[in-house]
Every structure is written in C-alpha cells, then in structure tokens.
C-alpha cells in the first residue's frame, strides 16, 4: 500500500489476532501517507493488551490523525492502554464515535477518556459496555457531557454503575438537555429510584417520545408493576425494561437507601480484577445477609431468552443488529465443540423463523458467514460443524437422548438453499450436506420443501 501510494479513509482489521507485536508493523502504516487521510480505525478483538494499546497510541501520536471513528473492543486495554489512547484522542478533536467495550477499564481509565471526550465536541456515539465505570467513572463522564451537544447514543451496559453512578448520569442528561436517541444502562445493579431518575431525565424534553429509539434498563431493579408501567408510559416504544425473567427485588449491593459508601469504588475498582470485583461484592453480601433465593430465577440476557424460546417477538427484542448481538454473546464460549454447537443452533433458531418473517431470513443470512468463520477458527472444526448441522437438520440422530430440535427445519432448509451456492461456502461441507440430504430425501418430513431447491441435493 505504501509503495502503491494508496490513501485510506477506513482501516478495518478487526478479528485478527496480531496482538502487540502486530501493532509494531501496523505503526509503520499508520505513520505513512497511506493513512494521512484516515477517518475510521477499526481494531476490534485483536488481542492488543496494555502494551498494544500503548504502542498504538504512540503510533497515532507521531503524525496526529483526525479520526472520526475509533473502534477497539475486546482488547484488554485496561487503565494504562485506555489512558495512553485518551491522550491521543485529546489532541484529535474530530472523533464522532468511540467504541471500547470489554476492555477491563476501571474508573481511572474512564476518567482519562472523559477528559478526552471534552475535546471532541462532535462525539455522537459512545460505547463503553462491559467495563467497570462505577460511580466515580460515571461522575467523570457526567462532567464531560455539557460539551457533547451532538451525543445521540450511549452504551454503558454491564458497567457496575449502581444507583450512584446512574443518578450522576441522569442529572447530567437533564441539566444539559441531552438530545439522546439510544441509551443502554442494562445490568448495572441500579435501584428503582435511580432507574426512575434516568427515565425522567431522558424524557424531560417534549420531543422525547419521537426522538428516543431505545432505552434499555433491563437487568436492574425496576420495582413493582406500577413502577414499570410508569416507566413504560413515559418512554413509549423505546422502553426495554425487562429480560423477561428478572426479579423485582431491590439490589442490596450499594443500595439500601439509594446510597453507597465513599470508599467502595476505590477498593473494588482499583484493587480487584474485573471478574473478581463482581464476585467480591457477592461474597461480602453473603457474610452479612442471609438471602432466601428460592423461587428467584437468574436474570437472562435477551439472546439467552431467544435461544431458549426462538420466537419472532424474542428475535425482534435483539434489535436492528441481531446477528452482531448473537455473535458477541456466543464468542465468550471457549470449548470448540460447545462454541460450534452454539453457533449452529443459534443460526438454525433464526433460520427456522424465516418462513414467517423477512427479518428472520435477513438475520439468518448474516449469521451464516459468521458461523462459518467462527467454526473455521477452531481446531478440527470441519467434522464438528458438519456433524452439528446434520443433527440440527434432522439428517442424523444425536447420541444425546436429551437433544431436541427447537426450530422449524423447513425454514432452515429454505435459508440453507440460499447460502449453499455461495462461493464462500466450504466445498467439503456443501458436499457432505448434499450427500446426506440426497440419501434421506424420500423419508424427509420436509421433502416437499427440499425438492423445491435442487441445489441442496444435486
């Protein structure tokens, strides 16, 4: 690219595991004239780590770029990596979208980023999902909001905001008359009073019903049915208040009278690793309080609910980027056979609805290449993928007697017929599926459907 004199406006290298060593090579490109006009840098899930984050920040600072979009989720940048990048962002002033979910960033890194936000007044989309923002981080972000008049979308889901953090954000939303369109504060251990303050803040302007497209408070304590109805009435169609199986119990951690101790954030956010922090909260509670958890079911995500009960309504709840949401949810699975099984079953769950819904067909067509890509990244994946698909289509019996097909196989065959001819569809897998479909054709329950698509068996 350097030799050819290329000029890039977008550089997308997501889902390549080049890590910090790869950043050293990437630095040469970023510092060259190839990236002199770069507007979007997308480095999601590259295994950068703290070292990679620092090297990336250094590369971007040598010849400062005027980026509009910066994406770097799932990279374990942590506080040091985020702080190094924050210094670079501070000098840019042109950023419109920043997405850094799942990076193990605590309030110190969030505070550094918040200072950088102040120098980027065109910021319209901010995604820090699944970092530990906490109340201190929320207060830092709140201090940056007065200068972010163009901010439309915020995703702080699963960031341990608690009530104190949610209240800080709600006050900033209201005081600065934020024209937000999408707000995700799900799974943050927020109490009902603070949830109501958030609702009041985002609906304080008269055009809120028309403007708001999505307000997600699922996985928090919303109170009784009366409280939920009040929230839903205020939010209108944008409300996403429940995962369907959550408890109405008030969160006791940092809650009680809607307050938190002053030192709680400092200890949990600085000293404990991300996962340990959540565990420590539960352990401390168990020492002080005997909770009767009988009859209280675990709060499930929208993806889990859909996979357990694949219906059109549950699919719609996943939003406009359902395929991406499902992919993000499943990537945490480490064991290869479980991961492949999960992707196949998710793809078939959506495909099975394709006869009833154009949306389902669209999402299924988006999931297929994702499924094939994720499976190809696993060791000895070819036979695992073929075996799982054959089982899901009812072409072979499962060795597990508990296994059951939860989707309509007729819909699965319809979608499969659309993707099988694709040049990107693995030839060995295509041949295996065709062989089994052809051999079972006369006894297939979906024979009428399959015969309409000869590409499945000839």
Residue 207: count of CB within 10 angstroms of its CB: 9
Most confident range, picked from 231-235, 254-258, 399-403: 231-235
* pLDDT at 300 (0 to 100): 56
Q: Which residues have CB under 8 Å from 227's CB, separation 6+?
A: 192, 196
pLDDT higher than 70, residue 2: yes
Q: Three-class SS string for the chain? A: CCCCCCCCCEEECCCCCCHHHHHHHHHHHHCCHHHCCCCEEECCCCCCHHHHHHHHHHHHHHCCCCCCEEECCCCCCHHHHHHHHHHHHHHHCCCCEEECCCCCCCHHHHHHHHHHHHCCCCCCEEECCCCCCHHHHHHHHHHHHHHCCCCCEEECCCCCCHHHHHHHHHHHHHHCCCCCCEEECCCCCCCHHHHHHHHHHHCCCCCHHHHCCEEECCCCCCCCHHHHHHHHHHHHHHEECCCCCCCCCCCCCCCCCCCCCCCHHHHHHHHCCHHHHHHHHHHHHHHHCCCCCCCCCCCCCHHHHHHHCCCHHHHHCCCCCHHHHHHHHHCCCCCHHHHHHHHHHHHHHHHCCCCCCHHHHHHHHHHHHHHHHHHHCCCCHHHHHHHHHHHHCCCCCCCCCCCCCCCCHHHHHHHHHHHCCCCCCCHHHHHHHHHHHHHHHHHCCCHHHHHCCHHHCC
What is the pLDDT at residue 177?
93
In sequence order, the 6+-apart residues with CB closer than 8 A to the CB of 441 are: 447, 450, 451, 457
Q: Return the higher-pLDDT residue of 400 and 197.
A: 197
| Residue-level pLDDT at 248 | 46
The crossing angle, in degrees rounded to 10, of helices 409-419 and 358-376 is 70
**Cα–Cα–Cα angle for 408, 410, 413, rounded to 5 degrees:** 115
pLDDT of residue 360: 92
pLDDT of residue 130: 95
Q: Is the pLDDT of residue 294 over 60?
A: no
Mean pLDDT of 318-323: 88
Higher pLDDT, 270 or 205: 205
Distance CA 445, CA 360 (A): 22
Residue 229, Cα to own-chain centre: how many angstroms? Answer: 27
pLDDT at 229 over 60: yes
Domains assigned to the chain: 10-288 (3.80.10.10), 306-456 (1.25.40.200)
Q: What is the pLDDT of residue 380?
A: 66
Return d(Cα 246, Cα 217) in angstroms, integer: 11
* Whether the Cβ atoms of residue 213 and residue 180 lie closer than 8 Å to each other: no
Higher pLDDT, 320 or 56: 56
The pLDDT tens digits for 119-172 are 999 999 999 999 999 999 999 999 999 999 999 999 999 999 999 999 999 999
Percentage, residues of the chain above pLDDT 90: 67
Q: What is the mean pLDDT of residues 334-358?
A: 91
264 pLDDT above the threshold of 50? no
Predicted confidence (pLDDT) at residue 358 exceeds the cutoff of 50: yes
Is the torsion defined by CA of 272, 275, 278, 282 positive or negative?
Answer: negative
pLDDT at 252: 45
Task: State the chain's mean pLDDT as an integer.
Answer: 86
Confidence of residue 25 (pLDDT cuts 50, 70, 90): confident
pLDDT at 221 over 80: yes
Instruction: Give pTM, 2 decimals.
Output: 0.58
Residue with tokens 């075996």: 387
DSSP β-ladder status, 40-42 and 97-99? unpaired
The reported pLDDT for the residue numbered 401 is: 73
Average pLDDT for residues 74-83, to the nearest whole number? 94
Predicted confidence at residue 378, as pLDDT, reads 78
pLDDT of residue 11: 97
Is the predicted pLDDT of residue 285 greater than 90, yes or no? no
Is residue 262's pLDDT more than 50?
A: no
User: For the residues 199-206, what does the mean pLDDT come to?
Assistant: 95
């Amino acid at each position: 690219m350097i030799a050819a004199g290329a000029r890039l406006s977008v550089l997308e290298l997501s889902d390549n595991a080049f890590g910090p060593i790869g950043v050293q090579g990437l630095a040469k490109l970023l510092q060259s004239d190839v990236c002199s006009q770069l507007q979007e840098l997308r480095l999601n899930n590259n295994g950068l780590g703290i070292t990679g984050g620092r090297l990336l920040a250094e590369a971007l600072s040598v010849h400062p770029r005027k980026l509009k979009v910066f994406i770097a989720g799932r990279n374990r940048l942590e506080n040091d990596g985020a702080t190094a990048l924050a210094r670079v962002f501070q000098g840019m002033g042109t950023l419109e979208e920043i997405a850094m979910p799942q990076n193990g960033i605590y309030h110190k890194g969030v505070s550094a980023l918040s200072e950088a936000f102040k120098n980027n007044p065109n910021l319209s989309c901010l995604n820090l999902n699944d970092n530990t923002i906490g109340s201190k981080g929320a207060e830092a972000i709140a201090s940056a909001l007065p200068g972010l008049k163009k901010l439309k979308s915020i995703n702080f889901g699963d960031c341990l905001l608690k009530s104190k953090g949610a209240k800080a954000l709600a006050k900033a939303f209201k005081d600065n008359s934020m024209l937000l369109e999408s707000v995700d504060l799900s799974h943050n251990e927020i109490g009902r009073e603070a949830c109501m303050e958030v609702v009041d803040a985002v609906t304080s302007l008269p055009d809120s019903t028309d403007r708001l497209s999505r307000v997600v408070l699922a996985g928090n304590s919303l109170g009784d049915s009366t409280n939920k109805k009040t929230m839903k009435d205020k939010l209108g169609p944008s409300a996403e208040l429940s995962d369907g199986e959550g408890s109405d119990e008030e969160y006791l951690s940092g809650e009680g009278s809607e307050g938190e101790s002053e030192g709680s954030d400092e200890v949990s956010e600085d000293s404990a690793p991300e996962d340990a922090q959540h565990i420590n909260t539960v352990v401390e509670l168990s020492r002080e309080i005997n909770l009767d958890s009988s009859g209280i079911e675990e709060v499930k995500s929208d993806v889990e609910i859909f996979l357990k009960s694949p219906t059109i309504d549950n699919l719609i709840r996943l939003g406009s980027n359902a395929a991406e949401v499902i992919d993000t949810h499943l990537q945490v699975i480490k064991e290869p056979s479980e991961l492949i099984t999960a992707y196949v079953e998710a793809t078939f769950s959506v495909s099975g609805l394709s006869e009833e819904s154009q949306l389902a067909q669209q999402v299924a067509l988006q999931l297929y290449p994702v499924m094939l890509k994720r499976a190809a990244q696993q060791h000895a994946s070819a036979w695992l993928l073929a075996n799982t698909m054959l089982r899901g289509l009812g072409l072979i019996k499962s060795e597990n007697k508990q296994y059951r097909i939860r989707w309509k196989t007729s819909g699965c065959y319809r979608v499969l017929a659309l993707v099988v001819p694709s040049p990107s569809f693995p030839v060995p897998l295509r041949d295996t599926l065709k062989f089994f479909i052809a051999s079972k054709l006369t006894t297939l329950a979906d024979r009428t459907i399959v015969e309409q698509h000869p590409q499945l068996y000839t």
